Structure 1
Amino acid sequence: MSLDEVDLIIEHRFSNSACEYLVQWSRDLARTWEPSGNLTECHTLLSCYWREFSSTKRNFEFLTPSFTLVEEQASGNEEDEEGEEPEPAPKKRAAAAKRQPVRRLAPEDKIAVAKRVQMNKQLAGARTRASGTAKPPPPTAKRSFEFNDGLDVTEPQVPAAGPARRKAGSQTARKSTGGRRPPPPLP
């Protein structure tokens, strides 16, 4: 499996203590569950998927320990401090109790979001590469024939002393005709 064939990573699941990913293939738009071992070449897609997953899925269910450190210390020091009670655990925040449910996205919506994120990253990369690269020409640079002081392109400027001799092996700049034949010379 190569990186060119994988178009998008849509979901993940854990089966038999291994992580599997729902992958959309670019060649036929099919979706299959692939083990993580098959996607070793797609580390950029995997990192983009996990970054997007962690930013959109804020309501993780974490395992809570069965006892706290205060209870552990209290159970070890029962002989020394019989009269003191352990400090109560801090109360949960009110905001945590009022969590809003996370909107579940359909696979098609996930694809659209992921493609939009990828396009924004490419656009941002193109902007950073393009910024600051264009420099003005130096003041000693010569202008091309078309832009010399507003002269007409069809009438080249001929020096008064006659045609200048060209050095052997030198070339003159020619106007591009776009693949067409140049027009016949004027009489």
Structure 2
Amino acid sequence: MPAARLIRFNKPWGVLSQFTPEGRWQGLKDFIDLPGVYVAGRLDADSEGLLLLTDDGKLQAHIADPRFKMEKVYWVQVEGTPDEVALAALCSGVQLNDGLTRPARARRLDPPPDVWARQPPIRERKNIPTAWIELAIREGRNRQVRRMTAAVGLPTLRLIRAAIGPHTLDGLAPGSWAG
């Protein structure tokens, strides 16, 4: 039996975590033409970064299922300036409408990560600074990172998943894949 295939894909903004496009959103078929691979986990169309695909159902479940607590690392550009209180709140768990989040790892990224320009660009307000934080979580609620940063007064402007467990974006331009 051949080894499981694992594909790392740098999902651009505006692409769904499915092969079929819907409405204004593109699908993965515009970037990946590999029969028999399936998405392991999700990343919203308005988020960017690492998406894993595999042809192995057990591996797919292990990556996607929060019971396995595989850490996911995000680089988040936020509106405002994160202070120690906001970072401590993210680290200890944030109360959301669906309950308290698990503790996370959070730190300010200074200097900001060296990332590609986003198309379309984020909205920026001249009077409000932006900053980047790294947030690592081990659960996967709907739009969780965006809701967590908003709960501590730092609305998300841009969200890039940088890693899932040991797998990273390293060497992948937006829209490219390896595996």
- The interval holding the TM-score normalised by the smaller chain is under 0.3
Give the strand-richer structure, 1 or 2. Answer: 2
Q: Which has the higher contact order (CA 8 A, sep 6+)?
A: 2
Larger radius of gyration: 1
